[in-house]
Structure formats: C-alpha cells, structure tokens
C-alpha cells in the first residue's frame, strides 16, 4: 500500500478548507476507497468529555464512546495508536458492526498535543493491520491533523 500517495492526497484535499467536516469526510472516503478489506473507516471527535461520531464510511455506528472505553476510548485515554489483531479478544471492545474482526485506532492531536479526535479503521480480516500499515496510517493521520484548523470546540 502506497501511504505516501494517500498522505499527499489528504494534503491536497485539505488545501481548500481547514474545517474538520469536509476534511474528515474526504479523509474517510480516501481511506475507504483506497485500502482493501475494510468495513468501516472514519473519525470520532472529542466533545464535552466524550467521543462523538464524526465523518465516516461504512455502516451506521454508535454515537458516543466514553473515555477509556473500547478501542477508540483506549487510544484517546492512552494517547497512542491501538492496533488489534482480533477484536473479540480485546476487553471492552464495542461492536458497532458485527463484521469487524480487526481494528486500528490512531489519535489526532492539535498543535498543543491534546487529542482532539481518533481515526478508526475496521476490517473483517483478522490481523488485517500490520506494523507497516500502522506507520503509514500514522503518517496519514499527521497530515490530516495538521491540515485541520482546530477550534476550541469542534462545532464552534
Ligand atoms: N469498535 C470501536 C467502536 C467504533 S466502531 O468500530 C465504528 C471500539 O471498540 O472503540
């Protein structure tokens, strides 16, 4: 997978508007169209002390996730990428789509280093995400977070 190209595409899409809605919408579409074997790709945003569903591609998903809950909440709380080969073995995993078997969640931070969102990818294929995918997706996430003009509240 050519993550450099994908990252360049994210940067190019970001040039027109730094608001998180079009940026994360197009970022979701890029991921979902470009990566094989995904059943969900999108973002959750930190809002009022919890994660709330943001732009995504895939089946309708749960709207709120508490800090520390599920793979998304863990990535937010621990401020690090969480890569899971088998979600059924991850304690507290939140099953939004029964087809999901593997997952990777990467935090997006503002200029101060505060986590403002998480990028979540799900796959029906066990162990879908390799260390190489993790590296490439982190590069992609860095481009996206840098393109966003983070505001005090994301909907301000
Ligand atoms: N599985 C996630 C919840 C979000 S859905 O996968 C879209 C989790 O455990 O945090």
Q: How far is the CA of 16 from the centre of ligand 1 (A)?
A: 30
List, for residues 67-122, the tens digit of each pLDDT value. Answer: 999 999 999 999 999 999 999 999 999 998 889 999 999 999 999 999 999 999 99
Tell me if 100 CB under 6 Å of ligand 1.
Answer: yes
Tell me if 43 CB under 6 Å of ligand 1.
Answer: no
Total Cβ atoms within 10 A of residue 16 = 10
Burial (CB < 10 A; 0-12, 13-18, 19+), residue 110, is: middle
**CA–CA separation, 132 and 48 (whole Å):** 34
Tell me if 145 CB under 6 Å of ligand 1.
Answer: no
List, for residues 16-47, the tens digit of each pLDDT value. Answer: 889 999 999 999 999 999 999 999 999 999 99
pTM of the model: 0.95
CATH number, domain 3-151: 3.30.450.40
């Amino acid at each position: 997978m050519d993550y450099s190209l994908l990252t360049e595409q994210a940067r190019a899409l970001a040039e027109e508007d730094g608001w998180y809605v079009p940026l994360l919408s197009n970022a979701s579409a890029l991921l979902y169209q470009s990566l094989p074997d995904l059943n969900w790709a999108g973002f959750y945003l930190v809002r009022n002390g919890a994660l709330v569903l943001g732009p995504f591609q895939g089946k309708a998903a749960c709207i709120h996730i508490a800090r520390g809950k599920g793979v998304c909440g863990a990535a937010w709380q621990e401020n690090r990428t969480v890569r899971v080969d088998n979600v059924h073995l991850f304690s507290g995993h939140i099953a939004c789509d029964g087809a999901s078997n593997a997952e990777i969640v990467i935090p997006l931070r503002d200029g101060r280093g505060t986590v403002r969102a998480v990028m979540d990818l799900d796959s029906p294929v066990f162990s879908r995400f390799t260390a190489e995918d993790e590296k490439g997706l982190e590069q992609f996430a860095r481009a996206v977070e840098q393109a966003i003009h983070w505001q005090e509240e994301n909907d301000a």
